[in-house]
């Protein structure tokens, strides 16, 4: 049980200032006082800290014609390091190298065998390849983050990953001993949600639900300014919500699950029944873009079912937005009308605040970007709970 000591507060405030600079661009200390809500003296100390670390550069601004001392602008020095994000899926590994502010610099993709060792070797090779491509050494890597399609413990262990066929794998530990930089590992959909709050469409949103579709349908809840995982880590696992009584059989053994209608192969199977040989979301999206009416019909039906699940989520959680992400993104434009139709029809708490359903800023790459988000947290020495906006910026007292 960790205590709320001064060093922790300093880390928190350093992160607040860093994020303010990252999101809002270069700023003077006075502007940072406004955007972070910190005391000028604190900003001054944090600014010195960041200067000493070499993370920010200071440039004297010329006079702007106004009275008063001209400000000294702080800016993140993106050249002093990179973040590495990665994603493990069954059979595939993706790597994304970005600047310290999350701008992409290099990507890599490769296929891996089914064992943990295979995957880790491939991942390590991919990271080396991506770094080599842009001539960046490990001395410039500030942190690595990895998104995994599995139920994770808080310490970065894979508790159970049915798609990968893994159980009880100390992933964070194994990667940390391989690399000498901070390593963060988390569930892929949670990571995608994190990326959305750090870099994407949910940047100023405190309450949203992330729904990511790849081989399965995953959900993550970001509530009250932080990820919510539930008492056993299952919160937001909406792939097996029942949407059709006695409906199609699902891989989980039950019937009528959302996944049995919206997952990639489920959608492909449904289209195959109607004479369309389209195996991937990408191919289905292309056909939809071409105006294939059968494809459009199937997507509309799937969208209506997704809308039913979203309606239930909205009724219970009252989120500000719902973000759709992952490979599913390829077909989202043709799901959305049915989703919104169903939502308007079914989610009708008598006097409800309005919820928007939007597509992720990163589309299919949301999870890989999530790896970068995990890396950024790790680079700032910030465990997830510290990003809690309530703890960081409490509202006025009652």
Q: According to the binding rule CB under 7 A, does residue 35 interact with DNA?
A: no
Give the C-alpha distances (Å, rounded to integers) separating 264 from 186, 238, 255, 328.
23, 15, 17, 8
Choosing among DNA, its own copies, none, which partner's interface includes residue 292 (Cβ < 5 to 8 Å by kind)?
none
Q: According to the binding rule CB under 7 A, does residue 39 interact with DNA?
A: yes
The minimum distance between CB 19 and DNA, in angstroms, equals: 14
Interacting positions 43-102 with DNA (CB under 7 A): 43-48, 63, 65-72
Instruction: Select from 135, 196, 233, 230 the least CA-distant residue to 322.
Output: 196
Choosing among its own copies, DNA, none, which partner's interface includes residue 65 (Cβ < 5 to 8 Å by kind)?
DNA
The minimum distance between CB 52 and DNA, in angstroms, equals: 11
Q: Assess contact for 221 and 317: CB atoms under 8 A.
A: yes
Instruction: Select from 135, 179, 172, 178 the least CA-distant residue to 155.
Output: 172
Q: According to the binding rule CB under 8 A, does residue 7 interact with its own copies?
A: no
- Rounded Cα distance between 80 and 156, Å, is 27
- Rounded Cα distance between 72 and 59, Å, is 6
- Rounded Cα distance between 135 and 9, Å, is 36
The minimum distance between CB 318 and its own copies, in angstroms, equals: 3
- According to DSSP, the β-strands at 208-213 and 141-148 are unpaired
Cβ nearer to its own copies, comparing 3 with 66: 3
Helix (H) or strand (E) holding 288: helix 281-289
Q: Assess contact for 195 and 370: CB atoms under 8 A.
A: yes
Token pair, residue 229, equals 């995982």
256 sits in the region (left: phi over 0; alpha: psi -120 to 50; else beta) called left
Interacting positions 202-221 with its own copies (CB under 8 A): 206-207, 221
Residue range at the interface with DNA (CB under 7 A); choices 24-32, 100-108, 264-272, 328-336: 24-32
Q: According to the binding rule CB under 7 A, does residue 4 interact with DNA?
A: yes
Q: According to the binding rule CB under 8 A, does residue 397 interact with its own copies?
A: yes
- Rounded Cα distance between 69 and 337, Å, is 54
Q: According to the binding rule CB under 8 A, does residue 3 interact with its own copies?
A: yes
- Among 131, 144, 313, 336, the residue binding its own copies under the rule CB under 8 A is 313
The minimum distance between CB 238 and its own copies, in angstroms, equals: 7
Q: According to the binding rule CB under 7 A, does residue 28 interact with DNA?
A: yes
Residue range at the interface with DNA (CB under 7 A); choices 38-46, 233-241, 314-322, 327-335: 38-46
Residue range at the interface with its own copies (CB under 8 A); choices 60-68, 119-127, 287-295, 314-322: 314-322
- Among 32, 55, 86, 184, the residue binding its own copies under the rule CB under 8 A is 184
106-122-156 Cα angle (round to 5): 90
Residue range at the interface with DNA (CB under 7 A); choices 30-38, 92-100, 239-247, 378-386: 30-38
């Amino acid at each position: 049980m960790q205590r709320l000591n001064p060093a922790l507060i300093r880390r928190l405030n350093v992160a607040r200032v860093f994020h303010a600079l990252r999101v809002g661009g270069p700023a003077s200390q006075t502007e940072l006082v406004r955007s972070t809500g910190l005391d000028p003296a604190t900003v001054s100390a944090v600014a010195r800290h960041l200067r000493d670390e070499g993370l920010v550069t200071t440039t004297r601004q010329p006079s702007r014609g106004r009275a008063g001392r001209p400000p000294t602008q702080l800016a993140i020095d993106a050249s002093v390091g990179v973040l590495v994000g990665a994603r493990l899926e069954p059979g595939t590994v993706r790597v994304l190298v970005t600047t310290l502010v999350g701008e992409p610099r290099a990507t890599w993709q490769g296929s891996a065998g089914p064992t943990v060792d295979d995957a880790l070797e491939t991942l390590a090779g991919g990271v080396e390849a991506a770094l080599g491509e842009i001539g960046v050494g490990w001395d410039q890597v500030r942190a690595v983050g990895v998104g995994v399609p599995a139920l994770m413990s808080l310490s970065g262990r894979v508790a159970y990953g049915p798609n990968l066929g893994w159980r009880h794998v100390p992933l964070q530990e194994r990667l940390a001993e391989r690399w000498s930089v901070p390593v963060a590992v988390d569930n892929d959909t949670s990571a995608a949600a994190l990326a959305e709050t750090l870099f994407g469409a949910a940047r100023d949103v405190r309450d949203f639900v992330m729904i990511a579709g790849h081989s399965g349908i995953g959900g993550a809840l970001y509530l009250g300014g932080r990820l919510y995982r539930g008492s056993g880590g299952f919160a937001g696992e909406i792939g097996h919500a029942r949407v059709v009584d006695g409906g199609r059989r699902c891989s989980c053994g039950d019937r009528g699950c959302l996944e049995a209608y919206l997952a990639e192969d489920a959608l492909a199977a449904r289209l195959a029944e109607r004479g369309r040989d389209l195996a991937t979301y990408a191919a289905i999206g292309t056909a939809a873009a071409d105006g294939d009416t059968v494809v459009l019909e199937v997507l509309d039906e799937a969208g209506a079912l997704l809308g039913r699940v979203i309606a239930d989520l909205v009724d219970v959680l009252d989120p500000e937005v719902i973000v759709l992400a992952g490979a599913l993104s390829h077909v989202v434009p043709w799901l959305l009308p049915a989703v919104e139709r169903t939502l308007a029809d079914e989610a009708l708490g008598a006097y409800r605040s309005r919820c928007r359903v939007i597509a992720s800023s990163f589309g299919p790459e949301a999870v890989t970007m999530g790896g970068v988000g995990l890396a950024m947290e790790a680079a700032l020495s910030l465990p997830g709970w510290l990003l809690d906006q309530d703890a960081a910026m409490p509202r006025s007292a009652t």
